[in-house]
Structure 1
Amino acid sequence: MSKSKQYWLVKTEPESFSIADLAKSPNQTTCWDGVRNYQARNFLRDEMKLGDDVLFYHSNAEPPVVMGTCVVVREAYPDHTAWDKKDHHYDPKASPDNPIWQMVDLKLVETFDHPVTLPELRAVKSLAKMELLRQGSRLSVQPVKPNEFKTVVALGRKK
């Protein structure tokens, strides 16, 4: 029995990798590497599945903002940047024999006409329990409820 579609939010600092960078990537697709938190890694490894929809969030922007959506096009596989000593995501405990960290591939679906700011999200009553808005929420990969995803997408598409 296949699992039903799930929804996610991934955070990125736009100066490191923005939605514009994703749009310029070959086939508008990239590996989502560099996740170095065990809970976020577990979401990537154990729960993110082919076809899951993802909100693309610029976390270090002023204000932070949901820029658009993407979709999982490849399920979890070892994050090779962890054992590359030249990569800024290098982890000396990781190796090809002990990969520790995982990544998925994401493909751009849409860039919002109206990127949705964090203050706008906070103003929507139906989003009050969204993980992103929870005090102290810092995970770079987090689950999103289906109704939250639909609400954010509707906000992003408004003119």
Structure 2
Amino acid sequence: MTAYWLMKSEPDECSIDDVLAAPHATVAWTGVRNYQARNFMRDAMRVGDGVLFYHSSCAEPGIVGLAQVASGTRPDPTQFDPASPYFDAKSPADKPRWLLLDVQALKKTRLIGLPELRTTPELVEMVVLQRGSRLSITPVSADHWRFITQQMMGGCG
């Protein structure tokens, strides 16, 4: 059964355009340093799951594309690189704390900005819109996925 996710990326670091320009439109989703988000990747995300690609920490945050999970998890090498902003000196090489998976961009969409998401009654329960929600990966219900892809994106999901 397909699951659905919203994955946030800072466009200065990895934008939807960057992913679409990558080989096979696929990138390794590095730098996740929250245990709950890591656990979603490890325990719940599967190849083929749908992804709402979301730009965060920018002038206009919001959903900017559709993607899919393209691999299972593996250790994130940035945790072992002292030059990386994601370096974790306490992560042992023989039992890494942090994982990544590959994400494949399927298409760029119109920006569905945070203000539009917040004012859409059908999405009021969406995890990313809940007060205090700051996770970089959040589950998306099948109903929310359908509404966003069929109503807000004009049937592209």
In structure 1, distance between residues paired with 2:76 and 2:99: 5
Please tell me whether the aligned partners of residues 20 and 107 of structure 2 are also in contact (alpha carbons under 8 angstroms): no
Q: What secondary structure does 1:74 align onto?
A: coil
Shift of 1:156: 2.8
Shift of 1:151: 1.6
Structure 2: unaligned runs, 5 residues or longer: none
| Partner AA of 1:107 in structure 2 | Q
1:63 aligns with 60
2:139 aligns with 143
* 2:17 counterpart of 1:53: no
Structure 1: unaligned runs, 5 residues or longer: none
In structure 2, distance between residues paired with 1:95 and 1:81: 13
2:119 aligns with 123
Query: TM-score, length-normalised on structure 1?
Result: 0.92
What is the total number of aligned residue pairs between the two structures?
Answer: 154
Deviates more, 1:67-76 or 1:148-157: 148-157
State the percentage of identical aligned residues. Answer: 40
| Partner AA of 2:36 in structure 1 | Q
Please tell me whether the aligned partners of residues 34 and 81 of structure 1 are also in contact (alpha carbons under 8 angstroms): yes
- Which one of the candidate residues 73, 79, 83 is aligned to 1:86? 83
| Partner AA of 1:35 in structure 2 | V
* 2:73 counterpart of 1:76: yes
CA deviations on 1:82-120 (whole Å, 9 max, x unpaired) are: 1111211110011321211011101011110x2101111
In structure 2, distance between residues paired with 1:143 and 1:109: 19
